[in-house]
Amino acid sequence: MILANPSDDREMITAEERSVFRRIGLKMKAYLPVGIRGVFDGVIENMHLHWKHREVVKLITKQKTLAFVEETARLLEYESGGILVAIERVPKGHALIFYRGKNYRRPINIRPRNLLTKAKALKRAVAMQRHEALSQHIEQLEINMKKMKRDLGMEDYDEEDEDGSGSESEDDTTGYDEGMEDYDKEEEDESDSEDEDN
């Protein structure tokens, strides 16, 4: 999926026009659902089909996070070329209201080729859900492991091991040096005794 860049020559609407289009959009019974697939080529095609008969189109998404809803709205605005009028909370989710613009011209290809198809969008949504569920599961496992270590007192034991590892290595090296000194002394004593015998 290759996203479209926002147009530099965007049409503007006044606050009064925005308020009028908002009321019209909220009163509309017909709407386009944005499901788990998100934004794909079929959603943009349906928006242009609605704009053929109406100036305003309403989409409803069931996304719970407002940041995701705003991101979806901006993506729809860039891909369709319409004007985002309002994002409103409704019983079914969030309503996204778009105005086609005064200078609207229906594109030759109303199904953009830079977006995913319906099947590929479903695969992407399923993969994202699995990734999110797996991430939450791993996070919960890490929390449970820390709790079990805390209950068993293993965290304190691990810290003591880390602190004692350095001192043990130092003791080993000092013991090795002392042993070597004793060994050297014994060799000197043996050599001296052999000289006396001779």
Which strands sit side by side in the sheet containing 93-99, from one edge to the other? Answer: 32-34, 56-61, 93-99, 83-90
CB 32, CB 103: distance < 8 Å:
no
Q: Among 19-23, 94-98, 157-161, whose mean pLDDT is lowest? A: 157-161
Q: Which amino acid is at 12?
A: M
Please report the pLDDT score of residue 56 as a whole number. Answer: 95
Q: Among 5-14, 106-115, 162-171, whose mean pLDDT is lowest? A: 162-171
Cα–Cα distance between 157 and 167 in angstroms, integer? 16
Please report the pLDDT score of residue 187 as a whole number. Answer: 53
Please report the pLDDT score of residue 155 as a whole number. Answer: 62
Residue 94: pLDDT band with limits 50, 70, 90: very high
Cα–Cα distance between 56 and 31 in angstroms, integer? 10
Residue 116: pLDDT band with limits 50, 70, 90: confident
Residue ranges of alpha helices (H) inside 11-117 are 15-27, 41-51, 66-80
Within 13 Å, how many C-alpha atoms sit on residue 175's CB side? 6
pLDDT at 186 over 80: no
Please report the pLDDT score of residue 58 as a whole number. Answer: 96
Q: Write down how long the chain is.
A: 198
Cα–Cα distance between 80 and 105 in angstroms, integer? 11
Q: What percent of the chain has pLDDT over 90?
A: 33
Please report the pLDDT score of residue 2 as a whole number. Answer: 61
Residue 173: pLDDT band with limits 50, 70, 90: very low
Cα–Cα distance between 14 and 17 in angstroms, integer? 5
Residue 11 phi, psi dihedral angles, 5° rounding = -80, 140
pLDDT at 176 over 50: no
pLDDT at 7 over 80: no
Burial of 111 (0-12, 13-18, 19+ CB in 10 A): middle
22-80 pLDDT, tens digit each: 999 999 999 999 988 888 888 999 999 999 999 999 999 988 889 989 999 999 998 88
Please report the pLDDT score of residue 95 as a whole number. Answer: 95
